[in-house]
Amino acid sequence: MAATRAASAASRVFLAFLSAVVAIAALLAVLLTVDAQAAERAEAETLTLSLARTIASMPTVTAAMDESDAATTAALQPVVLEITADTPLDFITIMRPDGIRLTHPDPTQIGGRYLGTIDEAAAGGTVTEEFTGTLGPSVRSVVPVRDGAEVVGLVAAGVTVGNVWGQVWGRLPFVLGVAIALAAVGAAAALLARRLTRRIAGDLPASTVRDAVSSYESVRTLGEALRAQTHEHGNRMHTAVALLELGRTEEAIGILTETSRQSQELVDQVAARRDGDPTVGALLLGKAAQARERGVDWSAEIDPTAPRSALSPVDAVSVVGNLIDNALDAAAGGADPRWVRVAFAPAPGGALALSVSDSGSGVADELRERIFEHGFSTKPAGSDGRGVGLALVRSIVEGAGGAVDLSSAPTTFQVILPGRRP
């Protein structure tokens, strides 16, 4: 069976962009629906309270409260049924201060006790609440009927929750229209993003694009290291030649011997590993020269038993080189003494532990995660590789099943990588 073709970088950008837009549109639809429900409930509370107060202030209602229960019901039941029919209210219940109903949409409920809170209203205040009564859950307001200063009755006006939601459903076309419009704009933006990405990366798979970036970073950091090493050796050779011309043979031999010794120490450490990576070894030699060029004290400790990582030489150089570059920049920009320490050691489970420490000023707590984001950098705008190095390091390491950790005092990046299988 033919292998499934990997999705291109452009397609991944499109899908990521579109997924984000759909999620935002869905969240917006939910928020608008919740807002509409809250608005309808607030409107229902305002309506019920206003109409309850209007009914309680009617002279007919106040006068009828002085009659017997039967006479009050006969006088007010037709009135409240007419008002209910002409307004959005679902019920109007007029009752005695003790809660005995005198009117109700269902005549069989008259004479029973009102279901809900009335104490505050009976004391002369008002009550607005959602309560489940004989008609189901409803938003209702209860106000007192006064004869002078005396509370002679109560009026409850309510709207069932079903009707409140009915008003919300009426707003759904608008909510869905906004969500669909947002999704359409987002889809168009996603198509544009895919087109722009395709212009840059063509139909290459995302992994291939990342490999290309890794290769570029590998060549860049290795090139900088070799340039520094070549420059350092060139300076020392020129100095030695000048000393020989001046007849100062011993001093010339001393310079050449010291150059050889410093390089040999690192070569011996690299060669002592049971499964060393010669590419990383060459990188370390160059970075040592680069550190001396920048006035940074350099130390590299390589445990002979440290395994070779599962990374390819290109990815290994990208990870090690970018971490060292980051440390050199931090140390060179800090106070004396300026130093960088690199260590390779075995880790549990046959893994490789790489740590890179520096004497720099460290990373602020609020930036500890952001420094790994693509495009973010604490370096000045326009710096080469700005915002790529640490993001690429994390991508490569986590893609290989490893982990990157940052600690302080001193600033140390520690990478745990699976060891290469025999």
415 Cβ contact list (under 8 Å, min separation 6):
319, 323, 353, 354, 355, 393, 397, 402, 403, 404, 405
What is the CATH number assigned to the segment(s) 7-202? 3.30.450.20
| Homologous superfamily in CATH for domain 206-417 | Histidine kinase-like ATPase, C-terminal domain (3.30.565.10)
- pTM higher than the cut 0.85: no
Q: 3's torsion region: left (phi>0), alpha (psi -120 to 50) or beta?
A: beta
Residue 114 to residue 100: CA distance in whole angstroms: 6
User: What is the reported pLDDT for 256?
Assistant: 59
Query: Which helix H or strand E contains 341, and what residues bound it?
Result: strand 339-347
Q: What is the mean pLDDT of the chain?
A: 76
Quick: pLDDT tens for 79-95: 989 998 888 888 899 99
**Regarding predicted confidence, which is higher, 44 or 48?**
48
> For the chain, how many residues are written?
422
Query: Which helix H or strand E contains 303, and what residues bound it?
Result: none
Quick: pLDDT tens for 195-213: 665 555 445 455 565 555 5
User: Quick one: pLDDT band at residue 125, thresholds 50, 70, 90?
Assistant: very high
Q: How many CA atoms lie within 13 A of 119 on its CB side?
A: 0
Provide the strand spans (E) within 68-199: 91-95, 127-133, 136-147, 150-160
**Regarding predicted confidence, which is higher, 181 or 338?**
338
Is residue 179 scored above 60 in pLDDT?
yes
Is residue 228 scored above 60 in pLDDT?
no
Residue 160's Cα: distance from chain center in Å? 40
Tokens at residue 366, please? 């609020």
User: Quick one: pLDDT band at residue 36, thresholds 50, 70, 90?
Assistant: low
Q: Where are the domains of the chain?
A: 7-202, 206-417
